Structure 1
Amino acid sequence: MARILAIDYGLKRTGIAVTDELQIIASGLTTVETDTLIEFLKDYINKETVERFIIGKPKQMDNSDSESEQLISSFIEKLKKEIPSIPFERVDERFTSKMAFQTMIDSGLKKKQRRNKALVDEISATIILQSYLYNK
C-alpha cells in the first residue's frame, strides 16, 4: 500500500502529516514554508509512494467556508496542475488548532514549546489525517 499525506494549509506555514504504508498510523512529518509546498510535495512523492492527499477544509461554526478557503482553493488548483496523478480529498478541520494546542498541553510540553506555531501546524495536520482514517 501507499501512504496518505495530509496538508494543513496556512498562509505562511503548512503542516504535513503522513500515514505508515499500511495506512494505520498518522504521524506528523514536518512543517514547510507555504511558498515551497509544491516543491516539497514533488520531492516527497519522488521518494515515497503516496496514494492521496488529504487537505483540511476550514469551516465556520455555521458550516460556511472560512476566509482562508479562497487561498486553499487557489493552492488546490495549482496542486492539480503540478501533481495531477495523485487525487485529493477534503476533511473538515474545525477545531484542529485548538485540539493540537490541547494535545501539546496534555503531553506535558512547556509553555515556551507550546508557542511553536510550526509544531501546532504539524499536529493539526496529524489530527486531520487521523480524522480521515477514522472515517474512511
Structure 2
Amino acid sequence: MGRILAIDYGRKRVGLAVSDPQQIIANKLATVATHTIWDFLQTYFKNEKVDEVVIGYPLQMNNTASEAVVYINPFIKKFKQKYPEIPLEMADERFTSKLAFQTMIDGGVKKAGRRNKAMVDAISATIILQSYMEQKRNRM
C-alpha cells in the first residue's frame, strides 16, 4: 500500500502532508515555494509510492468554488497531464487555515511562531489529509 499525499496549493507556498504507508495517520511533510512544486513532486514520486493525491479545493459557504480556484484549477489540470496514473481527489478546505492556527495555539506555539505562514500551510495540508482519510474510512 502506498501513501496519500495532500496538497494545500497557494500562490506563494504549497503545504504538503503525507500519510503513513498504511494510510492511517497524516503527517506534515513540507512547505515549498509554489514555483518549485513540480520539481518537488517529481523527486517525491520517484522516491515514494503514492497511491493518490488530495488537493484542498476552496469552497464558499454556499458550496460554490471560491475565487482562489483561478490559480488552483490550472495546477490541477497540469497535474492530471503530468501524472495521469495517480488519482487526484479534491477535498473541501474551508476553515483549514483557521483550524491550523488554532492547532498551533493549542500546541503552545508562541505568537511569533504562529506568524510562520509556511507552518500554517503544512498544518493545513495535514488537516486536509487527515479529514480525507477519515471520510474515506467512513465510506467503507
- When normalised by structure 2's length, the TM-score is 0.95
Identical-residue share of aligned pairs (%): 60
Displacement, 1:62?
1.5
SS of residue in 1 equivalent to 2:21 = coil
SS of residue in 1 equivalent to 2:131 = helix
What corresponds to 1:6 in structure 2? 6
In 2, are the aligned partners of 1:38 and 1:82 still within 8 Å (CA)?
A: no
Displacement, 1:33?
0.6
**Matched residues in 1 for 2:65 and 2:99: separation?**
20
Alpha-carbon deviations, 1:78-131, whole Å to 9, x = none? 111112221110000000000000000000000000000000000000000011
In 2, are the aligned partners of 1:104 and 1:114 still within 8 Å (CA)?
A: yes
**Matched residues in 1 for 2:83 and 2:43: separation?**
11
Q: Which moved more, 1:1-10 or 1:81-90?
A: 81-90
Say if 2:87 is the partner of 1:70: no
**Matched residues in 2 for 1:15 and 1:69: separation?**
16
What corresponds to 1:31 in structure 2? 31
SS of residue in 2 equivalent to 1:6 = strand
**Matched residues in 1 for 2:79 and 2:131: separation?**
22
Displacement, 1:38?
1.5
What corresponds to 2:93 in structure 1? 93
SS of residue in 2 equivalent to 1:67 = coil
Alpha-carbon deviations, 1:40-77, whole Å to 9, x = none? 11110100000000001101112111111121110011
Displacement, 1:36?
1.0
Query: Which letter maps to 1:49?
Result: K
**Matched residues in 2 for 1:57 and 1:45: separation?**
22
What corresponds to 1:102 in structure 2? 102
What corresponds to 2:57 in structure 1? 57
- When normalised by structure 1's length, the TM-score is 0.98
Unpaired runs of 5+ residues, structure 2, are none
Q: Which runs of 4+ in 1 moved over 3 A?
A: none
